[in-house]
């Protein structure tokens, strides 16, 4: 049996990744920091996972825990999936550095010390910068030299550290866009909360909500993570995970409103970009000072740039990878149906 070590296993992407590897017959060493999810506990009860408690930046303790778990099973470690990190648009720079860069440095060390076959790093399409794209082969574009935010800044540095310290056959980089799906605790709740308190869908700038919002269904992300850990064709590559359907910013607001706020009707209004910039600057400044997990209001300055640009990224590598493996892509229609079922079950 093969073994995979997944950091951030109790999180959104990490939980789906753990389920995917377990379904493929792997045993999951699940790193959980502050809490353990119900999904991971189910895997533990079925014998498909072992929980490792610890901090992803504590190199010495982490190595000892992983080695101990492997020795008990008489196994070697075949892959590391690094899902841990701070995925936010606000917060102290030191926290982003610790969780998004120093954690990766620890994982690279584990790969070398334990002779692990593959490190798969969960990065982000934000490394390209928040500007208008028109379906460019983004995986081959240079990364933005001066990011607007420490989130992509340290993701870029983490990618550079991996490339500088590991041979190409020892790593793959997966860059999801805006990850959504059942169990999302960040993107979807944030938008729904905004819509719940607003009589309008508000857009900013010249696109008026017609810009592409690059969704990445979490089950597509999990499938790509599995293939990035197992397929030689992914050696040293960066792979965007972006749903194939063109979904505008306005489309996504209305999809969520129809599911979670079905009795509320919305009209869309577009405000000048400078109005959003002024509000975003104030919101971001206060939220950063307090080191909040998420802004106390929207839009933050970084979120404003994100929702006001046409982020039309290519997903050619993702489609070929899934097609060659015979794995169907989760469609927007299927993803919406899953959200509806989950919401109905929650209400019942």
- Percent composition of the chain: helix, strand, coil (DSSP 3-state, to 5): 50, 15, 35
Paired with 29 in beta bridges are 5, 50
Model pLDDT for residues 319-348, shown as the tens digit of each residue: 999 999 999 999 999 999 999 999 989 887
Pairwise CA distance, residues 207 & 211, whole Å: 6
Paired with 201 in beta bridges are 268
CB of 89 closer than 8 Å to CB of 153? no
CA distances from 266 to 191, 198, 202, 236, 303 (A): 14, 9, 10, 45, 21
Residue 74, sorted as left (phi over 0), alpha (psi -120 to 50) or beta, turns out to be left
pLDDT at residue 35, as a whole number? 73
Domains of the chain, with CATH numbers? 3-179+214-242+312-329 (3.40.50.720)
pLDDT at residue 139, as a whole number? 66
pTM tops 0.85: yes
Model pLDDT for residues 242-270, shown as the tens digit of each residue: 999 999 999 999 999 999 999 999 999 99
Give every CB contact of residue 299 below 8 A, 6+ residues apart in sequence: 204, 276, 279, 280, 283, 307
Model pLDDT for residues 261-303, shown as the tens digit of each residue: 999 999 999 999 999 999 999 999 999 999 888 899 999 999 9
Question: Is residue 172 helix, strand or coil?
Answer: strand
Give every CB contact of residue 229 below 8 A, 6+ residues apart in sequence: 4, 21, 78, 79, 81, 118, 120, 172
CB of 119 closer than 8 Å to CB of 107? yes
């Amino acid at each position: 049996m093969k073994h995979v070590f997944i950091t951030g296993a109790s999180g959104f992407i990490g939980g789906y990744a753990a389920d995917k590897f377990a379904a493929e017959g792997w045993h999951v060493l699940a790193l959980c920091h502050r809490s353990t999810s119900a999904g991971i506990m189910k895997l533990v009860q079925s014998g498909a996972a072992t929980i490792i408690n610890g901090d992803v930046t504590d190199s010495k303790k982490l190595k000892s825990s992983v080695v101990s778990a492997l020795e008990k099973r008489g196994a070697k470690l075949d892959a590391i999936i690094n899902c841990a990190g701070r995925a936010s648009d606000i917060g102290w720079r030191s926290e982003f550095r610790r969780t998004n860069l120093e954690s990766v440095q620890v994982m690279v060390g584990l790969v070398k010390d334990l002779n692990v076959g593959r490190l798969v790093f969960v990065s982000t399409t934000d490394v390209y910068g928040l500007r208008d794209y028109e379906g460019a082969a983004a995986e081959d574009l240079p990364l933005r030299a001066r990011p607007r935010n420490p989130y992509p800044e340290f993701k870029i540095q983490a990618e550079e550290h991996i490339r500088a310290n590991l041979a190409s056959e020892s790593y793959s980089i997966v860059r999801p866009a805006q990850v959504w799906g059942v169990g999302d605790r960040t993107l979807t709740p944030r938008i729904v909360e905004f819509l719940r308190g607003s009589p309008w869908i508000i857009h900013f700038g010249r696109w008026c909500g017609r810009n592409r919002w690059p969704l990445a269904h979490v089950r597509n992300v999990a499938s790509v993570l599995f293939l990035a850990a197992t397929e030689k064709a992914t050696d040293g590559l960066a792979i965007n995970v972006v749903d194939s359907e063109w979904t505008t910013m306005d489309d996504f607001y209305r999809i969520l409103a129809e599911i979670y706020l079905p009795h509320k009707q919305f009209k869309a209004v577009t405000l000048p970009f400078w109005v959003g910039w002024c509000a975003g600057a104030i919101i971001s400044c206060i939220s950063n000072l307090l080191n909040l997990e998420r802004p106390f209001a929207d839009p933050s300055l970084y979120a404003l740039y994100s929702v006001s640009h046409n982020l039309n990224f290519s997903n050619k590598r993702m489609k070929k990878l899934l097609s060659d493996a015979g794995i169907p892509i989760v469609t927007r229609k299927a993803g919406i149906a899953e959200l509806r079922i989950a919401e109905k079950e929650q209400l019942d």
